[in-house]
Amino acid sequence: MFLFQDVTLVDFLMWIAVVAGLMILNEFARSNKYVALILFIALPIILTVFVWPTTAGPGSSTGTWFHWVKVYSALAGCLGFLALRHIKSLQSNKWALAFPAFILAFNICEAVIRDFQVASLHGMVDGVFMNGGPWNIMNGIAGIINIVTISGWFGIIISKDKQKDMIWPDQLWFWIIAYDVWNFAYVYNCVGDHSFYAGAALLISCTIPAFFIKKGAWLQHRAQTLAFWMMFTMSFPEFVTSSKFAVQSTHSDGALMTVSGIALAVNIAVLVYHVYRITKYKRNPFTQTVYEGLAASDEVIKENS
């Protein structure tokens, strides 16, 4: 394959199992706030004390600052969203409504910094093979554009069903796709040998429910599946590095340039449309929804109001 080496049928089956497992865990976390508290507070405390100091220590492929920051920032997002969903006073507090956008931008910014850092790295670094180059810079720029096109967080609502999902009507399919291609390119650039699962499978596991199970709740799906994946991979880093299911990147300059080029092009396209909507309809992206009036946004609002 152009992107990966020697992908077998067993690898594809495991890929499907990872997607399914993350989606099932996401549904468990959605179903009940007490289940979510166990999964996002009690379990990480146990892992932090008894597991990760050994499995994600120095020299491990998950022992870098980035992995430690990523797991706790993902968990912070899950808990912040959980509070927003279940504490009514927060649902009309403008600072609380800004939290999802902040944690999303913070997570993207972490990856942008790492992309720029990896641009000058080559060979084995912290147990991961790096092939840095201009593609890292291109994708870092795509990530910055992705942050710029975040809008409409004051329009976040909580669904009226028993799940009380956090619904973000301005976060539509084209922005989600732009995020997905950027994030896959980031993982492929910076931890290429993890990207078959940590890139493709992880992103699909939150995009499917956002498109087919609970529209408008992509960020909630993303935070929860990311938290589960980070907890798993920090506990079992060998799964993506040396197990029989591990799939290696080709580390090809052409593949790296291609995925980063696509990510940059897609995010530029979304930025152009974003600016068009802002200027044509005189929207303030910091205080107003930019995509109100589009059928996809109106459908999400109607289903959850």
Q: How far is the C-alpha of 194 from the C-alpha of 187, rounded, in Å?
A: 7
C-alpha to C-alpha distance for 21 and 43, rounded to whole angstroms: 17
Instruction: Give the contacts of 189 (CB within 8 A, at least 6 positions apart).
Output: 115, 118, 132, 135, 136, 139, 256, 259, 260
Which pLDDT tens digits describe the chain residue by residue (305 residues)?
699 998 999 999 999 999 999 999 999 999 999 999 999 999 999 999 999 999 998 878 788 877 898 899 999 999 999 999 999 999 989 899 999 999 999 999 989 999 999 999 999 887 789 999 999 999 999 999 999 999 999 999 999 999 999 999 999 999 999 999 999 999 999 999 999 999 999 999 999 999 999 999 999 999 999 999 999 999 999 999 889 999 999 999 999 999 999 999 999 999 999 999 999 999 999 889 999 999 999 999 999 97
CB 41 within 8 A of CB 81: no
Q: How many CB atoms lie within 10 A of CB 183?
A: 25
168 contact partners, CB below 8 Å, separation of at least 6: 100, 152, 153, 155, 156, 216, 217, 218, 219
Cβ neighbours of residue 63 closer than 8 Å, sequence gap 6 or more: 56, 57, 126, 127
